[in-house]
Structure 1
Amino acid sequence: MSIYMSRAELEEISEGLITAYANKFSNRVIQSIDIEHFITEFLMLRIEYASFAEDDAGRIGFLADGATPLLVHQDGKIIPFVFPKDTIVLDKFLLAEKEQGRRRFTMAHEASHHILSKMYAMPSEGRFHAEYDSERSCSKEELA
């Protein structure tokens, strides 16, 4: 995404979405945001888990566009699989209890791609969440 947004702009968008969510689900006691409920019931996105087989082990989340394949392990093989549009796909290892924080962050990160593409009427395209690795060097294409 080539649009720059300031921290203040992102916070304003976030606050507006959380307020709308709290108003829509006022029957729920909201002390902290249930990110899965926010994504599935408010944003109307699906969440699925798969065993990623991408070359970049840092890729742990994916927002599917219904056209871009994700390499996954299935039946002992690596296959390109196209998930339905508006599906957040997370690597299965994130289901471990000790990965709860990383799972929630990755879900929110992928949801933000969906939100920002809607705000700026950008076409859907498959997007990855990759963990930052300070020792990895990236090509210009990867950085783009």
Structure 2
Amino acid sequence: MNEMFYRQSALDCIANGLLKNYRNGMYLYGAPRSIPIEEIIEVEYKLTIEYVKLRKSGNVLGQTVFENCFVPVYDKENEQYTIIEVQPGTILIDEALLEEENMGRYRYTLTHELSHWILHHKIFDNSQESAAKTTTESNSKTEWQADALAASILMPKMQIKKAFFFNARIKR
């Protein structure tokens, strides 16, 4: 796999561009608010989100599918793995993240997988691979970049600064 390295400043620019183009920049320039990541994924990028049990162990929470392929998922009812066919442009999310206490992790995982789509689509296209983070792969450049872009999308620096200075004025 031929990885391309992006600096943090470039990832911040990509995130700002995404948010600037989405709804006239209201999530970048308006009042700080929660980024509607599901809507961005489904409406802006026209990707599909599907919920499955990715691994029995729970060590894979999300997976981005770049081309038509077959993906192993855990069938809890039959207590065994099965293979499902998945279309390109699908983000698979582990169904455990739908529980209320996992909402922050859910949003982050969705954004991490969108980041793979944005940054690494050309790397994984026609590679017979998918972007799925496991604990043993978590240090790769590709994963770091998806993590960093996800953070920049969900917490744009302009909005963090705005919220910080607004709260600092209130406390005076």
TM range (shorter): 0.7 to 0.9
1:62 CA drift (Å): 0.4
The corresponding residue for 1:102 is 105
Larger Rg: 2
1:35 pairs with one of 21, 34, 37: 37
Structure 1 residues 93 and 129, CA gap change in structure 2 (3 angstroms): same
Q: Contact 2:52/2:93 (CA < 8 Å) preserved in 1? A: yes
Equivalent position SS for 2:86: coil
Q: Contact 1:61/1:129 (CA < 8 Å) preserved in 2? A: yes
TM-score scaled to structure 2, two decimals? Answer: 0.65
The question of 1:127 aligning with 2:118 is answered no
Moved over 6 A (4+): none
1:63-142 matches, within 5 Å, as 63-74=64-75, 76=78, 77-118=80-121, 121-124=122-125, 125-130=129-134, 132=135, 138=136
Equivalent position SS for 1:14: helix
Q: Contact 1:64/1:82 (CA < 8 Å) preserved in 2? A: no
1:129 CA drift (Å): 3.0
2:47 pairs with one of 45, 48, 52: 45
List runs of 5+ in structure 1 lacking aligned partners.
Answer: 133-137
Q: Contact 2:67/2:89 (CA < 8 Å) preserved in 1? A: yes
1:79-104 deviation line (CA, Å, top 9, x unaligned): 12221111000011000000000000
RMSD (Å), alpha carbons: 2.9
Amino acid at match of 1:129: K
List runs of 5+ in structure 2 lacking aligned partners.
Answer: 142-172
Instruction: Name whichever of 61-70 and 100-109 sits farther off.
Output: 61-70
Amino acid at match of 2:34: S
Equivalent position SS for 2:120: helix
Structure 1 residues 45 and 24, CA gap change in structure 2 (3 angstroms): farther
> Percent identity between the aligned chains?
26
The corresponding residue for 1:135 is none
Amino acid at match of 1:4: F
1:25 CA drift (Å): 8.5
